[in-house]
Chain A
Amino acid sequence: MIKVTYRLTRSDVLGIFFYTGKVVLWMGGLMLIPAVTALVFGEWPSLFDFLIGSSLSFCVGFIFLLIGRPSQRGLTWMLGFTVAAFSWLVLMFLAAVPYYLSGHWGAFVDALFDVMSGFTTTGVVLVQDLDHIPNSINMWRHILTYLGGQGMVVLALTVLSKGLPGAFKLYVGEAKDERLMPSVGQTARAIWFISVVWLIVGTVALWLSGLAIGLKPVRAFLHGLWIFMGAWSTGGFAPQSQNIMYYHSFLLEAVTVPIMIAGSFNFGLHFAIWTGKRSEIYRNLETRVFFVTLSLFTLVGFLSTVTAGVYSDALSLARRIVYQFISAQTTTGFSNIFPQQFVYHWPTVVLLAMTLAMLFGGSASSTAGGFKGVRVGVVAKAIRMEVRKLMAPESAVIVEKVHMGQDSPLEDRNVKVAALIILLYIVIFTIGTVAGVAYGYPLPMAIFEAGSVTGNVGLSSGLTSPLMPWPLKILYILMMWMARLEFMSVFVFFAILWRFGRR
């Protein structure tokens, strides 16, 4: 047996600090956006909170740069994955500083929780008195979730390091693997381009909707911008504590639906449509899986609530059930009902179907979380292939094709990787459920919340609150982090720490 070992060199460690330092500088710059917002709206205490956060980020970033230097081996897979995971941790601590200073988070761990929830586009929150927070803090919450959806690290490095060799490994480290253009820099710019076009169109549409439903122009603009960011990033953050229910508007809800769905689609699919390959939307495995599973889950929700007599008319049923299932499966987490209704008003079977929808999630290389459509599709096709093999003559060669931009044969390796990642999601979902029950929460509540956190969704049954036990908060932070980075980066990071500790 060959024993394969890797050795973490001094150059690798310095490289981790160097690349992370660059990402941290990017964070320091970003904090100036909410600082300007605070300046515009005269939120003076908040202005200084952001200046503290920004200056601290710059200090840490420069110190990391001074300590580190580019790795001599270039950006290896190990380094790329470690930088991605480590950067997310450092950024979480720095981004939480203005949150904590604002006084709206009861403890620093609550602020860390909300930052991780934003980065990972989850959307569960521990913020207190959300209806009275400054515009600048709201701006920061939504910027975090918007950028988290695109991929913080790779975007930072492609801006700060032109032609960074091996940047693709960072890109994969952040759980994206769709190469839209020959280089990662060009791919990142394409992702930015797609996102900014959607940002403009979506914000204008939501702004007009806000005006139509009675918001004042400035409020309508800010709410439009933030709701767009929450929808596109599939983060589910909203500026008011009642989430989408605050607006009492079918129009606004309807406008968010295409944005949520588009946000959950693969950037590769967006790019294909942009470049004229419109048939991709029908042929792509992920969109097929998405629409088939969403239809099935919604049908189950529909029939179960009809049977249980929850809603008295079809329109109510459609507006609540369809919206919640789209929100769940796109892993957005927008809600137009009370969180408690999931547990106390809706039939348990709907709650379970919605948990499955949250776990299945959107597309790979998108802003969405969950297993991802491609993995569900690959495993489903593998099962079909095995059944076909059993039914066919022994001499027959059975081939399944997968269409993701182009047709390719289904290989055992793809099936193994897809099944392994799904298994890991199920493992953390189970751990989250057991932990919830162990802390005394009812099983349906624990299942729903664990599904929401594992799928980076953000719908809540009411379990997530500032009063929940702190070990559960930390467990949820870890679950959000691992699920969003799709495990491998985090495992490599812990392996590096373990090896370092044993030296």
Chain B
Amino acid sequence: MRVRWKLAKFILTVTAVLPVVFVFLVAGALSRADASPSGNALSGEAVRVKIQDLAGRSSEYNGRKVVFSGEAIGDIMYRGQHAWVNVLDSTGAIGVFMPREFAQKIQHLGDYSHKGDTVEVIGVFSISCPLHNGDPDVHAESLTVLESGKTILHPISRERVILSVVLAMAAGYLGYWAWKAKKLA
């Protein structure tokens, strides 16, 4: 009896939920036209893009050979005979999957202390790469270092040093008065 009652409850719950799922499904199907990427690997010349274009107009570039340049940033993450390098231009950053030997050309990676090498990548863009479980990425066919990176110097501002000392002294003075007034207990 108890099992039958539980089964009935389950069926009723599912029946209640189904219309909601159905509505979402219909809406999903209706929005298909807008959402579906082209998905076709188009051959031909590489088209020059900014990284923002790949993110914002993905259906236009999905599966196409693209060329872009930018700064190699962060880390080279080696995975077997390949590596991941993230490339940043003035509009955004994207992961580039490349053979190990391409990655070895990169000497400087961008971070606080360094401007990374400026590289030009030619490769195939996928908004949802099947090889990498749907990662939006570019598979590099060639990589050229256009400009070597360098160390970035960050000079210390004398005014800020003085300001920090003055404020520290003021804090010490006020702290002393707060302590004397027994406000720190």
Contact = CB atoms under 8 A, between A and B. Distances in A.
A348 B134 contact: no
24 contacts: A56-B171, A62-B174, A62-B175, A62-B178, A132-B112, A214-B84, A215-B75, A241-B93, A246-B93, A248-B132, A300-B24, A307-B25, A307-B32, A309-B39, A312-B128, A316-B129, A319-B133, A339-B55, A340-B58, A345-B128, A347-B28, A349-B24, A350-B28, A462-B56
Chain B interface SS verdict (over half):
mixed
A340 B56 contact: yes
Contact of B35 (A28, A317, A346): A346
A28 B164 CA distance: 13
Contacts of A296: 17, 20-21
Contacts of A213: 77, 79
B28 A66 contact: no
B91 to A, nearest CB: 11
Nearest to B181: A66
B10 interface: no
A248 B138 CA distance: 12
A44 B130 CA distance: 45
Given A132-B112, A213-B77, A349-B31, 18 more contacts: A51-B168, A55-B168, A56-B167, A56-B171, A66-B183, A101-B160, A213-B79, A214-B77, A215-B75, A246-B93, A303-B24, A307-B25, A310-B35, A340-B56, A341-B127, A345-B59, A345-B127, A346-B35
A311 B133 CA distance: 9
A305 B34 CA distance: 12
Interface in B101-155: 110-112, 127-130, 132-137, 152, 154-155
B18 to A, nearest CB: 11
Q: Max chain A CB contacts within 10 Å: which of B57, B75, B78, B170?
A: B75
A441 interface: no
A344 B31 contact: no
Contacts of B127: 341, 345
B27 A348 contact: yes
B130 A214 contact: no
A272 interface: no
Contacts of B110: 131-132
B74 A348 contact: no
B163 interface: yes
A296 to B, nearest CB: 7
Nearest to A253: B133
B157 interface: yes
Nearest to A242: B93
Contact of B93 (A101, A131, A308): A131
Interface residues of A, number: 74
Given A248-B135, A347-B28, A49 B174 contact: no
A134 interface: yes
Contacts of A349: 24, 27-28, 31
B111 A132 contact: yes
A241 B28 contact: no
Contacts of B35: 308, 310, 345-348
A435 interface: no
B10 to A, nearest CB: 13
Interface string B20-56: 1100110111011011110100000000000000111
Contacts of A247: 77
Contact of A45 (B37, B55, B154): B154
B135 to A, nearest CB: 6
B28 A308 contact: yes
Given A45-B156, A48-B160, A338 B32 contact: no
Interface in A416-464: 462
A320 B86 CA distance: 19
A307 to B, nearest CB: 5
A289 interface: no
Nearest to A239: B74
Nearest to B154: A45
A241 B137 CA distance: 15
Nearest to B177: A66
Contacts of A69: 183
Contacts of B168: 51, 55
Contacts of A315: 133-134
A215 B55 CA distance: 25
B133 A58 contact: no
Contacts of A18: 183
B24 A55 contact: no
Contacts of B66: none
A212 to B, nearest CB: 10
Contact of B95 (A242, A316, A344): A242
Given A135-B112, A307-B29, A341 B55 contact: yes
A352 B84 CA distance: 33
A311 B128 contact: yes
B131 to A, nearest CB: 10
Given A242-B86, A248-B137, A310 B128 contact: yes
B83 interface: yes
Contacts of A240: 73-74, 86, 93
A345 B58 contact: yes
Interface string A33-61: 00000000001110011011001101100
B21 A303 contact: yes
Given A214-B75, A308-B36, A320-B128, A45 B155 contact: yes
A214 B83 contact: yes
A245 interface: yes
Contacts of B184: 65
Given A62-B174, A340-B56, A346-B35, A313 B130 contact: yes
B88 interface: yes
Contact of A52 (B135, B137, B164): B164
A353 interface: yes
